[in-house]
A and B are shown apart, each in its own frame.
Chain A
Amino acid sequence: MQRADSLALPAAAWGSEYLEDTSLRRLVMEHYDQEHASLLRYLNCLGLDADSAREIVQESFLKLHEHLLRGGDRTNLRSWLYRVAHNLARNRQTAFHTKKVDALDALPGAGRLSSQTASAEEELLNRERLQRLWQAMGELSSAQRECLLLRAQGFKYREIAEVLNLSISAVGENIQRGLEKLKDLCL
């Protein structure tokens, strides 16, 4: 998976000349095209409904535009985006008292789990396994769940720490304990 921060252009390209020649809008849209699907997946797994997740994704990219317009730090825009989206999601869950995924119900995208190569029996088994895993995720603490979801999106511990405002050691501990709990509940 290509990562948004790998979009980094040569250092000279970030100068004012580049910004005059190329719209920040295009840069934001490049990030959008690369990251919006994985951001939506993350928000979906946090328990947000599809409409709220889409609104938060859009708001996050508008904030990215503001951030770039002010000459904000560009060293890891992927983490920055997730951090903003995560905080927006948390605020929304608090403000509207929506479910905080303590009780996860529907498996996200359950209809997309079918595989053309798997037999009907294998498919059913896979679906049951994932359903069990999804339910077990609801038994984890929110920090454990968030760390594991970000890890599943390919984030390193240092980046997860940046997104969730945790220490790297706390991230490691959450991942280890979360996996241990999932192992007990699912396997």
Chain B
Amino acid sequence: MKASDHLTQDLLVRALDDELMPEQAAAVEAHLSACETCREQYEILRTLSIRLGTLVSAADTRPDEETRASLWQELEFREQQPVRRTPEKIIRRLEWGLAIAAGLALAAFLVPFSNRHRPKPTGHSVIAETNGTIEVDGETFIMLPYSNPELPLNAPHIVQMEVPVASLAEAGVTFEPIANEMANADDSVLADVLIGLDGQPLGIHILSAQ
């Protein structure tokens, strides 16, 4: 970096926030010691950042013993009645969801069955949400009604499970028009179920009949 080339605002901000790689940080530091213009800019950004910190810390956060006591009591109550999600409960919940989303669930059978054995997404998932479907790492899920839509979608996991055809039929989903091999109500269908952060089914992707 030549001394005559001034540092970009981006570099100055990242240097201020300690977000640069060590070699970049060293180069910025060396430049700042030699360039008054950039040093001035850096100081302006630093002052602005300090004021922002002051602004945020000035927000009213008076201690609220009532809220704390209320939270403690609510947690105490919940601990006495722990809710453990079992696979059966998930499937029951799934049935409920499908009852409302029967029409959407039918569309799941149009999804190709080709990715039955593909590896499950791990780490950072790529999620895109469009009309009634969610795409996670390239797999499309039909969205189910979700009790906690405020929870973030960026860390779901996928559980492959057998969903009884009977439960789907009860929800009004019939398979005869789509595939004869799925007509037996004693059968199950293999599905990938997208589980949200709160443990509730968020979406379903029917893979194939058993």
Chain A residues engaging chain B, CB cutoff 8 angstroms: 23-25, 28-29, 32, 36-38, 40-42, 44-45, 50, 54, 57-58, 61-63, 65-67, 69-70, 72-73, 83-84, 87-88, 90-91, 107-113, 126, 129-130, 133-134, 137, 148-149, 151-153, 156-157, 162, 165, 172-173, 175-176, 179-180, 182-183, 186-187
Q: What chain B residues lie within 8 Å of A87 (beta carbons)?
A: 150-152
Check B56–A32 contact: CB distance below 8 A. Answer: no
Cα distance, A67 to B79, chains bound together (Å):
13
Cα distance, A183 to B153, chains bound together (Å):
34
Check A23–B79 contact: CB distance below 8 A. Answer: yes
Return the chain B residue nearest A156 by Cβ: B19
Cα distance, A158 to B48, chains bound together (Å):
22
Contact with A along B64-82 (1 / 0, CB 8 A): 1001101110111011001
Return the chain A residue nearest B51 by Cβ: A133
Given A24-B75, A40-B59, A45-B55, output 11 extra A-B contacts at Cβ < 8 Å.
A28-B75, A36-B68, A40-B61, A41-B56, A63-B151, A63-B198, A108-B58, A112-B58, A129-B51, A153-B56, A157-B17
Check A175–B59 contact: CB distance below 8 A. Answer: no
Check A176–B10 contact: CB distance below 8 A. Answer: yes
Return the chain B residue nearest A157 by Cβ: B19
Q: List 13 A-B contacts (CB under 8 A).
A: A25-B79, A29-B68, A40-B59, A41-B57, A58-B70, A67-B198, A107-B55, A109-B61, A152-B56, A157-B17, A157-B19, A165-B152, A172-B10
Chain B residues engaging chain A, CB cutoff 8 angstroms: 9-10, 13-14, 17, 19, 44-45, 47-49, 51-61, 64, 67-68, 70-72, 74-76, 78-79, 82-83, 85, 148-155, 197-199
Return the chain B residue nearest A56 by Cβ: B150
Within the complex, the shortest CB–CB distance from B42 to chain A, in Å, comes to 12
By secondary structure, the B interface counts as helix
Check B85–A70 contact: CB distance below 8 A. Answer: yes
Those 9 A-B pairs whose CB atoms lie nearest each other, nearest first: A108-B59, A41-B59, A109-B58, A25-B75, A37-B61, A44-B59, A109-B60, A152-B56, A87-B150
Cα distance, A126 to B51, chains bound together (Å):
9
CB contact between B59 and one of A24, A54, A109 (< 8 Å): that residue:
A109
Cα distance, A69 to B17, chains bound together (Å):
35
Return the chain B residue nearest A23 by Cβ: B79
Within the complex, the shortest CB–CB distance from B22 to chain A, in Å, comes to 16
Q: What chain B residues lie within 8 Å of A63 (beta carbons)?
A: 148, 151, 198
Cα distance, A63 to B74, chains bound together (Å):
12
Q: What chain A residues lie within 8 Å of B57 (beta carbons)?
A: 41
Check B60–A133 contact: CB distance below 8 A. Answer: no
Within the complex, the shortest CB–CB distance from A54 to chain B, in Å, comes to 5
Q: What chain A residues lie within 8 Å of B198 (beta carbons)?
A: 63, 66-67, 70
Check B152–A83 contact: CB distance below 8 A. Answer: yes
Q: What chain B residues lie within 8 Å of A172 (beta carbons)?
A: 10, 13-14, 19
Cα distance, A9 to B51, chains bound together (Å):
34
Check B55–A152 contact: CB distance below 8 A. Answer: yes
Check A62–B48 contact: CB distance below 8 A. Answer: no
Cα distance, A126 to B47, chains bound together (Å):
12
Check A57–B49 contact: CB distance below 8 A. Answer: no
Within the complex, the shortest CB–CB distance from A33 to chain B, in Å, comes to 8
Within the complex, the shortest CB–CB distance from B116 to chain A, in Å, comes to 27
Check B56–A149 contact: CB distance below 8 A. Answer: yes
Check B49–A176 contact: CB distance below 8 A. Answer: no
